[in-house]
Amino acid sequence: MHAPLGEEALDVGEGALGVEVVEDRNTRVPDPLRASRIKERLREHHVLVSTDGPDDNVLKIKPPLVFTGDDADRLASTLAKVLDEDGIRS
């Protein structure tokens, strides 16, 4: 099972997209520690994201101007792989 993520993507402005990382989808309690671990594991796979938001629990995705379907597939598959790893799984 993947780490709980918010129900929707967040528009964080300037062409960026955000995914909220929470402890539980029902309570939506922010989980900044898990967000930070996900960010670092993605970096190890050469996928760069940052964390943002008042609780620093939003994975901020800032794609370059040229972002292909293949790039989107790589982002999605790498994120899924990272979420399945021990230590990040819920």
- Give tens-digit pLDDT for 2-58: 555 555 455 455 677 888 999 888 888 999 999 999 999 999 999 999 999 999 999
Q: 86 φ, ψ to 5°?
A: -60, 145
The answer to whether the Cα torsion of 8, 63, 69, 41 is positive or negative is negative
Helix axes 32-44, 69-84, angle to 10 degrees: 120
CB atoms within 10 A of CB 6: 16
Residues 35, 12: Cα–Cα separation, whole Å: 16
Q: What is the pLDDT of residue 1?
A: 45
**Contact of 5 with 19, CB cutoff 8 Å:** yes
